[in-house]
Amino acid sequence: MPAPQAQPSPEYAAGVREFVLMGIEQEIPKTMKVIAAVPDGKRDYKPDPKARSAWDLAWHLASEDVIFLLQTTEGKFAFPDPRFEKEKPKTTAELATWYQAKMKDAIAKVRKMSPQDLVKPIDFLGMFKFPAFVYISFMNNHSIHHRGELAVYLRPMGSKVPSIYGPSADNES
């Protein structure tokens, strides 16, 4: 018989939620800078035929971060989720602004989740089932991963890499 597993308390989950959301809020401006640095004239750039284009990667990063948080509040994951396709921005500057506004709204919805909702398990596409609050960290990891990927595209496209956690060789002093 397997040993019983400890379940996080609703209060613990609420504390983790606040801690992780504070970090995400500090990441948003960094992500916006990387998205905005993609030159609109070179949005089709791919470092490899198997890679996403810069624009597809920027849209994936922005839209899936928001969708991931929203689906966490809804207690159900389903990908792809086309809810924002009709309002897809036209430029990278517009996308950065869109991301900021949509993340603010999604974070507000996560903050409205009750502590009891935060500990309810959510199935993630049949791969695993964790309490809702765990997926907030997943979203943050997703964002950082794809932001780093997109930042690597910038120099080959003729753009400058903005400061993310410190100065870059390109960044303004």
Residue 79 lies in a domain: yes
Residue 142 lies in a domain: yes
Find all residues with CB under 8 Å of 160, minimum gap 6, and list them.
37, 154, 168, 170, 171
Residue 97 lies in a domain: yes
The per-residue pLDDT for 3 is 61
The per-residue pLDDT for 139 is 96
Sign of CA dihedral 83, 89, 90, 91: negative
Residue 19 lies in a domain: yes
Residue 131 lies in a domain: yes
CA atoms within 13 A on the CB side of 139: 30
The per-residue pLDDT for 164 is 93
CA separation for the pair 37, 51 (Å, rounded): 19
pTM of the model: 0.93
Overall domain count for the chain: 1
Range of the domain at 100: 10-157
Strands 121-124 and 128-131: antiparallel
* Partner residues linked to 124 by β-bridges: 128
Residue 66 lies in a domain: yes
The per-residue pLDDT for 40 is 97
Report yes or no: 93 and 33 within 8 Å, Cβ to Cβ: no
The per-residue pLDDT for 7 is 86
Residue 1 lies in a domain: no
- CATH code for position 43: 1.20.120.450
Find all residues with CB under 8 Å of 148, minimum gap 6, and list them.
none
- Residue indicated by tokens 């960094």: 30
Q: Is 130 helix (H, G, I), strand (E, B) or coil?
A: strand
Chunked into runs of 10 residues, the chain (173 residues) has average pLDDT values of: 76 98 98 98 96 98 97 96 94 98 98 98 95 96 97 96 92 61
Residue 33 lies in a domain: yes
CA separation for the pair 55, 152 (Å, rounded): 13
